[in-house]
Amino acid sequence: MGCQYLEDLFELYLLGTLCREDLAAVDEHLARGCPNCLEQLREAALTVYVLAQPARAARLDPKHKSQLLRRLRKQ
* pLDDT tens string 13-55: 999 999 999 999 999 999 999 999 999 999 999 999 999 998 8
pLDDT score recorded for residue 1: 59
pLDDT score recorded for residue 55: 84
Cα–Cα distance between 56 and 53 in angstroms, integer? 9
Average pLDDT over residues 61-72: 88
**What are the sequence ranges of the domains in the chain?**
3-74
Q: Using pLDDT thresholds of 50, 70 and 90, give the confidence band for residue 57.
A: confident
Report which residue type is found at 26.
V
Cα–Cα distance between 23 and 46 in angstroms, integer? 19
Cα–Cα distance between 43 and 37 in angstroms, integer? 10
